[in-house]
Amino acid sequence: MLEMPPLQYAEVNGIRMGFYEAGPKDDPVPMVLCHGWPEIAFSWRHQIKALSEAGIRVIAPDQRGYGSTDRPEKVEDYDIEHLTGDLVALLDHLKIDKAIFVGHDWGGFIVWQMPLRHKARTAGVVGINTPHSDRAPIDPIELFKKRFGDSMYIVQFQDPKREPDRIFAERTQQLFDAFMRKPIPMKPAAAEAPVAGVGASSKTNLAFPQMVQAYDAKFDPREKILSDEEQAVFVDTFRKSGFTGGINWYRNMSGNWRRAADLDHTVRVPSLMIMAENDAVLPPSAADGMEKIVPDLEKYLVRGSGHWTQQEKPEEVSAKLIEWRRKRFG
């Protein structure tokens, strides 16, 4: 399925942003769909169609550093203030007062920040796979080093020589071949509790650059999520854009953490947490205890799904988004 609405552009927050829009313009509470890494707005193709056909206005941007959107040079231009500010500026451009922000993976982290930083513009939040957590007790990069060692991909992403960027750019097809697959279900005995605010169990191989370097699809028994045509969209896009823009989001994690010291992390808008049973990096257990800082929270578990939930189980995810949106916003 390759159908997408026409690509549009907006000048927002100092960049030109590409975005897709569908559904009725008079819908009072649109849904803004925010992708993760390494993805683009195309990741939401199934939801754009289903939600718009259900009468919901949907906006899906290629976020800063990705796809059709500008990729500023400076690492600091990818901090949390810029990333949330882009979404507010997109609402301004479209003359939208408030929206429900829906985010998967890194997009999930961004949307949970929206009610903390831009409450007047945030009607509700949906996190897909990515839970909301209180501020980590120490710098998150130090936490990752302690828990997973220097080979963990987020730690490697801090490398000023940008070696991961180069590895991925040289092996873009291999990366999407390796990443975009359904997981082999984990046996309950093999599961291990993740660290709060960190996600992944230490049994997960998180040395992604080396994994991609060594990867050969011929020996991978896992089922592919994407058709060849769909995968080509991702591969062609990232061959043009490279990976540095998206990886720069990770290069701001310590700075974001330092500047959030005085931020109240309580989310005070209606919220939905969609969890995926077999996501090794963001397991359902990572959402344990979220109710303490998200008082108006509904949780929903998608069984049999790995990390790419809205693409692995598109009908179920779309149906849940429509049902929750109607229940909470009419």
Report, as residue numbers or ranges, the catalytic residues: 105, 307
Contact present, 251 and 157 (Cβ < 8 Å): yes
DSSP codes joined into one string, 84-139: HHHHHHHHHHTT-S-EEEEEETHHHHHHHHHHHH-GGGEEEEEEESPPP-PPPSS-
**Residue 275 is which amino acid?**
M
Please, what is the angle between helix 163-170 and helix 228-241, to 10°?
140
Cα(134)–Cα(266) distance, rounded to whole angstroms? Answer: 8
Q: Which two tokens stand for residue 271?
A: 């919220």
Cis peptide before 270 (omega within 30 of 0): no
Q: How big is the CA angle at 78 (ends 72 and 80), to the nearest 5 degrees?
A: 155
| 31: nearest Cα among 41, 21, 45 | 21
| 20: nearest Cα among 28, 9, 31 | 9
CA 95 to chain centre: 25
Identify the bridge partners of residue 122 per DSSP, sorted by sequence position: 99
* Distinct helix (H) and strand (E) counts, the chain: 13, 8
Contact present, 116 and 229 (Cβ < 8 Å): no
Q: What Å distances lie between residue 18 and 25, 71, 231, 307, CA to CA?
A: 18, 12, 20, 25
Q: How many CB atoms lie within 10 A of CB 297?
A: 18
Query: Strand 8-12 relative to strand 15-22: parallel, antiparallel, unpaired?
Result: antiparallel
CA torsion sign, 301 to 306 to 307 to 309? Answer: negative
